[in-house]
Structure 1
């Protein structure tokens, strides 16, 4: 009986460790660091961690290029957990996008709830993929994935670099994710 309990404990402990480390940030922190000190501020994200990401890709269509830059601005706002900046970027995207893109961007532009914005961003990302794949002329776009997003279901976003800056968790798990695909 003790052996069964020990084995169950070991399995549960192992699963917990795997779950915890799957999106562990690559930062070393002191065990004496308070929760407040561990949180990354909006200014640190915007100034130090993730400079405003600019599209390095070139597109066959200027409208797609403009929309992709607005998408990146929106992603950066979500990384920084800045609902107001997300609204502004989404509004620009809703004015220039295609139907499915306009619908998702409009949802974001009509709310200040960051979690609602992130859910709509997921939809927006899904709708952007065929547009981006068919319009890129040079350079690369990185399709990135966070396995922890949306209660472990995982989700994608696009970036112009391999660096992971997670729009679904912001400062909570800034570097959670991996590159899944390179669109060229």
Structure 2
């Protein structure tokens, strides 16, 4: 009986530790997603300087992800996408004009979409939206289209191509 109680205690502690690590990782990924939305919103409203400022926050959120707690396959996915996000974020920050920034944002968006689909960490519904004119997709926290690739020129150009429910 004593052995069973000890085993149950060990299992309970291990499960709690895994759950806590997962919730901490999910929280960090949701902060990254929020930082991504800030960059998207700056580009959608034609605010080049704000996009530069917000992408620096995004880069810091990438660095803050406690990725070592992820299962092996998810860890490999994250390491590959984190590299893309950081490189494209650096490009966006150095962008001389908003058109160049938007091109860099496209790379960030595809890496974020792949990460979100692979890790399923979102605590809110996320909308994958697509602009046929830009031939590019992005993530949005709202169902209404807010096009970061054309901004005020075609703010509502695009459609929702996929809805990712919260986990």
C-alpha separation in 2, matches of 1:109 and 1:59: 28
C-alpha separation in 1, matches of 2:109 and 2:123: 20
The residue that corresponds to 2:97 in the other structure is 113
Which of 26, 34, 38 is the equivalent residue of 1:61? 26
C-alpha separation in 1, matches of 2:124 and 2:32: 17
The residue that corresponds to 1:145 in the other structure is 130
Which of 39, 47, 62 is the equivalent residue of 1:74? 39
1:77-118 CA-partner distances (Å, limit 9, x unpaired): 101111100001111112231222111111111124100100
Give the C-alpha shift of residue 60 in structure 1: 5.5
1:1-184 equivalence runs, <5 A: 61-97=26-62, 98-133=82-117, 134-149=119-134, 154-184=135-165
Contact 1:70 1:92 in 2 (8 A): yes
Structure 2 residue runs without a partner (length 5+): 1-22, 63-81
* Aligned Cα root-mean-square deviation (Å): 1.8
Structure 1 residue runs without a partner (length 5+): 1-57
Moved over 6 A (4+): none
1:38-61 CA-partner distances (Å, limit 9, x unpaired): xxxxxxxxxxxxxxxxxxxx9962
Give the C-alpha shift of residue 135 in structure 1: 3.3
More helix by share: 2
Contact 2:113 2:138 in 1 (8 A): no
Aligned length: 123
C-alpha separation in 2, matches of 1:105 and 1:137: 21
Instruction: Calculate the TM-score normalised by the size of structure 1.
Output: 0.62
C-alpha separation in 1, matches of 2:105 and 2:126: 17
Instruction: Calculate the TM-score normalised by the size of structure 2.
Output: 0.69
